[in-house]
Structure 1
């Protein structure tokens, strides 16, 4: 099944460029998104059924990288880069979940139940965004007449 992904490397690069605006509008930095994509695999659900087949993001490994996402965010804050707040957020570094004070509070297990609620929210956001990417990839393949070829390759 790995061969099917090899056949769409160029398509993935195109979708990556097109999806960049969506990533920039998200709560994730480009570096965080790269790590999320590294931990995400793609599968084709219902590949045998032309009408119901769709690309899905396998996000099973994302919980394992959540601590590293937090490290990236902390490093960005320490270097003067303001980490993005989750969508709908607007807190400051002193009172929100980001920034130096947020990192210190998390290091001591303080603030918002040790950060696990924030991790769950970030995990859900990452899962949603990776599925949006999978949908964009499938749409790209369909619009370029490659979808059936890729779907069949996945089954082999």
Structure 2
């Protein structure tokens, strides 16, 4: 079954889990806006859908790295609105362009690896919660079967 078809089956379940998971997001290091951005980059897969014991809903977070720069923008805007301007090292236009093209000499891609790991971990916690929700509502087996078709 195509990804969209099985994920369409769980839209209502995701909305229920979103409500239940909102406190976990509040307690995390991410704002609701940042969490929303993270979730736009997350896709869900089911590993071993044909195995009752090994089947697991997993968060594919491979695209989260791509939204991290925008998350930094959100954080900066929120800090500015709150009067807590964070002082950031100012770069010249040429340094910024070189960094954007991957030619910067600063090493790395400017991504806060700790925040990235936290985002990926929280996304997997969400996937675990969603799987538990599906199991408790006797929907997990139906979803696993749909994935295999």
**Root-mean-square deviation over aligned CA pairs:** 2.0
Give per-residue Cα distances to partners, 1:43-81, cap 9 Å, x unaligned. Answer: 000111111101000001011111000000000011117
Which residue number corresponds to residue 100 of structure 1? 86
Structure showing greater Rg: 2
Displaced runs of 4 or more, over 3 A? 113-118
Answer yes or no: is 1:142 the counterpart of 2:148. Answer: no
**1:123 alignment partner, one of 83, 106, 116:** 116
Shift of residue 114 of structure 1?
Answer: 8.4
The answer to whether the 8 Å contact 2:69/2:111 transfers is no
Q: Is the 8 A contact 2:65 2:111 kept in 1?
A: no
Q: CA deviation at 1:155?
A: 1.4
Structure 1: distance between partners of 2:107 and 2:19: 36
TM-score (norm 1): 0.80
Structure 1 counterpart of 2:16, from 4, 14, 17: 14
The equivalences for 1:1-156 within 5 A come to 1-80=3-82, 99-101=85-87, 104-105=88-89, 107-108=90-91, 119-156=112-149
SS in 1 for 2:112: helix
How many pairs align? 134
In structure 1, runs of 5+ residues without a counterpart are 82-92, 94-98
The 1-side partners of 2:113 and 2:123 are apart by 15
Superposition TM-score, scaled by structure 2 size: 0.83
SS of corresponding position for 1:56: strand
Task: In structure 2, list runs of 5 or more residues that go unmatched.
Answer: 96-105
Distance 2:45 2:53 in 1: 16
69-78 or 113-122, larger mean C-alpha shift: 113-122
